[in-house]
Structure 1
């Protein structure tokens, strides 16, 4: 994990860098830190199956499919195929229902695992 400094300590330890970063007004600075791991949810876009798995009823799943078709996020033919699968097999066909806090719990589990691997964070 990165070191943390008070501003005065930072100025003492890195006087030239501190002057550049803290005193010059006409520069911009962008810092990137590679932590050695990436966020699996960064840029993640749920699929139609993700949406279906959050539905509580078949009717709700049909509404989701219709919504995605009407907003151009799903092809009409694919929408009809999905509705046929839903009609024939039910919403359980796509897997168990994802609870409302599913992604929160998954992210929490992931970050707890990561932080256990970083010295001094557990």
Structure 2
């Protein structure tokens, strides 16, 4: 039997495989599929759920991102970035990356706003 020449599109993951070809190409995955999953995922966390988890802040030193998340506007965030760079708290390279993200995506791209009392509400008791 003549095998037809495969095209690049034939390598996409949704293609159908002959069972033996699949076992040959992906032996460990085939074994997992044959034996069944050992790990069962019953759910996942969303970003908001993760942020709401209680944390231990003793000895925690806020990062530039923590300060940016306190800002209301892009202009305030830019002031924070400039100040942190001028005072040697962040590198010029990192400051540039933060500015680019700020211009392209806005202040909320760094995370939800941290209101007054955020650390008290999110600490382990």
Structure 1 length-normalised TM:
0.55
In the other structure, the counterpart of 2:118 is 102
Distance in 1 between residues matched to 2:119 and 2:87, nearest whole Å: 24
Aligned residue among 66, 77, 82 for 2:93: 77
Query: How many pairs are equivalent?
Result: 71
Cα-Cα RMSD: 1.3
2:56 paired with 1:40: yes
CA deviation map 1:27-79 (0-9, x unaligned): xxxxxxxxxxxx81111011111111111110000000011001100001110
Structure 2: tracts of 5 or more residues without a match: 1-54
Q: 1:81, 1:94 → 2: CA distance?
A: 12
Which 4+ stretches in 1 moved above 4 angstroms? none
Of the structure 1 ranges 96-105 and 62-71, higher mean CA displacement relative to structure 2 is found in: 96-105
TM-score, normalised with respect to structure 2: 0.54
Partners of 2:122 and 2:56 in 1: CA distance: 10
Please report how far the alpha carbon of residue 102 of structure 1 lies from its aligned counterpart in structure 2 after TM superposition: 0.7
Structure 2 match to 1:59: 75
